[in-house]
Structure 1
Amino acid sequence: MRAKAFCPGHVTGLFQVCQDEDVMACGSRGAGLSLSLGVVSEVEVADGTGKVDIWLNGLKAAAPVTERAVRTILGDRPLDVRVRNELQLPVAQGFGTSAAGSISAAWALAHVLGVPEGEAYTAAHLAEIANRTGMGDVAGIMRGGIELRRRPGLPPIGEVERMNGHMDLVLAVVGPSIPTAEMLGRKEVLERINAVGGRGVELLMREPTLENLFRLSNEFMEGSGLATPEARRAVWEAKKWGWASQAMIGNSVFATGPDLDLLAGALSAYGDVYRCSVDLKGPRLL
């Protein structure tokens, strides 16, 4: 038995980490957007002993977030699961690949096992929180489009609204990856993130426009201490041609503007460039 599913990637512009004893209420407040590029998972299930093997872009790999999500859906069934994830964007660059890979794999497996596909969100959220790899990506992907995460956690505990708007995007990877778990594990960094991020989210909730999303993301980028020299330079260049900010938490940039060819050309001087758009459909079987 096999199935294939796609899950959009996700970019966060600003955020505030929110912890809670109830893991379903953990996560973040913030804002971001789902991407038309993400992860395609092909899942194959056979009789066995509960073994889970995962390949990333053709190479067998340890993928703890995806594995945990898959095992949550699998439960104690005596089945072996093979997951082949094809990533359309780089890992550890703020593009939500760990969330997308865990959702798409769990989504495909749920289809094979006859489990409600919505449980893939729960499985992925639990896996992300446990591994501290993305505190709000799953909730954002669940809502789709351009989202404002008003209350932390996975809906319905969390409150996530979709903002008006749609845009084509240029993504650029401008430097070495930033490990999210490591950054969020540093107390002084987390305190600064939450102080600046909390203020930014409050301001965006008062006037949730795309212009404010990018403006407040720029303020968060600088005020949080997460901005890298490479990201600063790339954002400064991209803002000559449109709106841009740093993808959190990554050494990367997301940008939009009236002339994407011009924008992509400008950003290509700083690193690898990807063209995509905001995804409105969410995870889906292929």
Structure 2
Amino acid sequence: MSEKGILTARAFAPAHITGFFQIHDHVEPMKKGSTGCGVVLDRGVHTTVTVSDDIERTEIYLNGEQVPGDTSRAVVGSMTDLPVKVESISDIPIGCGFGASGAGALGTAYALNHALSLNYTANQLNDIAHVAEVSNGSGLGDVTGQVHGGITVRKTPGAPSIASVDQVPSKDNDVYCVVLGELSTRSVLNDPEMVRSINNAGKEAMRKLMEKPSVNNFMFYSREFTIRSMLASEKVMEAIETSRNIGVIASQAMLGNAVFSIPPVDRRTELNDIFSEFGTVLHFKIRNESTRIG
């Protein structure tokens, strides 16, 4: 409690980049989601939730601007009838395949639980965020990845408490990204032909990765998925091919108009130079932790 009559709490949830995936639809949001593999990053979304008598209706803010915030709003609505002010500050790109929506939903759930002493368990909070995300079409598997950290293999679909997951071991790996624009997750998920193409490519990528799970193979089969699914723009493919020319595997961040890579140590500088030709280069570490309070 920051001052009398005002309840407030903060939470952080990390970014998540999906390398490849399969879509699994279901009438029950808890069972809807995706399988696939992605990497959790050391930056993400910082969310502050405030409850006070002065707040008349729930308001969602992102980087200082009021937004509809349908996913975070759904989280609030499923946890309390009180009007709430949700303020999220993102240090990752929005709408570019970094799982910002899932991170905002998770941060909202954890912060609200703490502010109001609602006594939800971590599993319950994770599931609330997942249901809000899939119900609003803003994502399918980011929340499950975000709550586990590292390079997470989502072996079965659904909310974090019921999904079967595994890990590709990683250590001291750096992730380089360049953003080339935005891509609507909802527009892709609503295209039946695109869904078929994604699922065929995602099934093959998962089969191959699980035969030899490694960081390098995660990147390799993510690149194969990008090519086979035909989701990439010309600019994305150009960045991927330019990276290939120096022996570095790069792939599209799903679902976003961005490219990422986990390069060998001796190629980081060269890759950074190549990515900088396409835009501002973002540099992350792999994060092996999940959401935190405060």
Report the Cα distance in structure 2 between the residues aligned to 1:186 and 1:238, rounded to whole angstroms.
30
* Alignment map for 1:93-132 (pairs within 5 Å): 93-114=96-117, 115-116=119-120, 118=122, 119-132=124-137
Report the Cα distance in structure 1 between the residues aligned to 2:218 and 2:90, rounded to whole angstroms.
27
Q: What stretches of structure 1 of length at least 5 have no aligned partner? A: none
Report the Cα distance in structure 2 between the residues aligned to 1:109 and 1:241, rounded to whole angstroms.
46
Equivalent in the alignment of 2:178: 172
Instruction: State which of 266, 272, 285 in structure 2 corresponds to 1:264.
Output: 272
The Cα of 1:238 is off from its aligned counterpart by 2.7
Report the Cα distance in structure 1 between the residues aligned to 2:190 and 2:56, rounded to whole angstroms.
32
The change in CA–CA distance for 1:155 and 1:60 in structure 2 (over 3 A counts) is closer
Q: Give 1:210's aligned amino acid.
A: V
Q: What stretches of structure 2 of length at least 5 have no aligned partner? A: 1-6
* Alignment map for 1:1-286 (pairs within 5 Å): 1-47=7-53, 51-74=57-80, 76=81, 79-114=82-117, 115-116=119-120, 118=122, 119-166=124-171, 167-174=173-180, 176-239=181-244, 240=246, 242-257=248-263, 258=265, 259-286=267-294
Q: TM-score, normalised by structure 2?
A: 0.91
Equivalent in the alignment of 2:3: none
Report the Cα distance in structure 1 between the residues aligned to 2:165 and 2:27, rounded to whole angstroms.
20
Report the Cα distance in structure 1 between the residues aligned to 2:103 and 2:61, rounded to whole angstroms.
15
Would you say the 8 A contact 2:40–2:149 is kept in 1?
A: yes
The Cα of 1:203 is off from its aligned counterpart by 1.9
Q: Secondary structure at the match of 2:93?
A: coil
Post-superposition Cα deviations, 1:162-208, rounded to whole Å, max 9, x if no partner, equal 2201311111102x311011111011111111111112112222222
Post-superposition Cα deviations, 1:89-125, rounded to whole Å, max 9, x if no partner, equal 1111100000011111111111112232523211110
Post-superposition Cα deviations, 1:32-87, rounded to whole Å, max 9, x if no partner, equal 0111111000111114787210111011111111111122122x3xx321111111
Report the Cα distance in structure 2 between the residues aligned to 1:94 and 1:245, rounded to whole angstroms.
12
Report the Cα distance in structure 2 between the residues aligned to 1:225 and 1:235, rounded to whole angstroms.
13
Report the Cα distance in structure 1 between the residues aligned to 2:75 and 2:53, rounded to whole angstroms.
19
Question: What's the Cα RMSD here?
Answer: 1.6
Q: Give 1:109's aligned amino acid.
A: L
Q: Which moved more, 1:109-118 or 1:46-55?
A: 46-55
Would you say the 8 A contact 1:9–1:95 is kept in 2?
A: yes
Q: Secondary structure at the match of 2:175?
A: strand
Would you say the 8 A contact 1:169–1:260 is kept in 2?
A: no
Would you say the 8 A contact 1:70–1:123 is kept in 2?
A: no
The Cα of 1:127 is off from its aligned counterpart by 1.1
Q: Give 1:80's aligned amino acid.
A: P
Q: Give 1:229's aligned amino acid.
A: E
The Cα of 1:241 is off from its aligned counterpart by 5.5
Q: Give 1:138's aligned amino acid.
A: V
The Cα of 1:158 is off from its aligned counterpart by 1.0
Would you say the 8 A contact 1:33–1:140 is kept in 2?
A: yes
Report the Cα distance in structure 2 between the residues aligned to 1:200 and 1:50, rounded to whole angstroms.
49
Number of positions where the alignment pairs a residue of Structure 1 with one of Structure 2: 282
Q: Give 2:116's aligned amino acid.
A: L
Q: TM-score, normalised by structure 1?
A: 0.94
Q: Give 1:60's aligned amino acid.
A: Q
Q: Secondary structure at the match of 2:108?
A: helix
Q: Give 1:204's aligned amino acid.
A: L
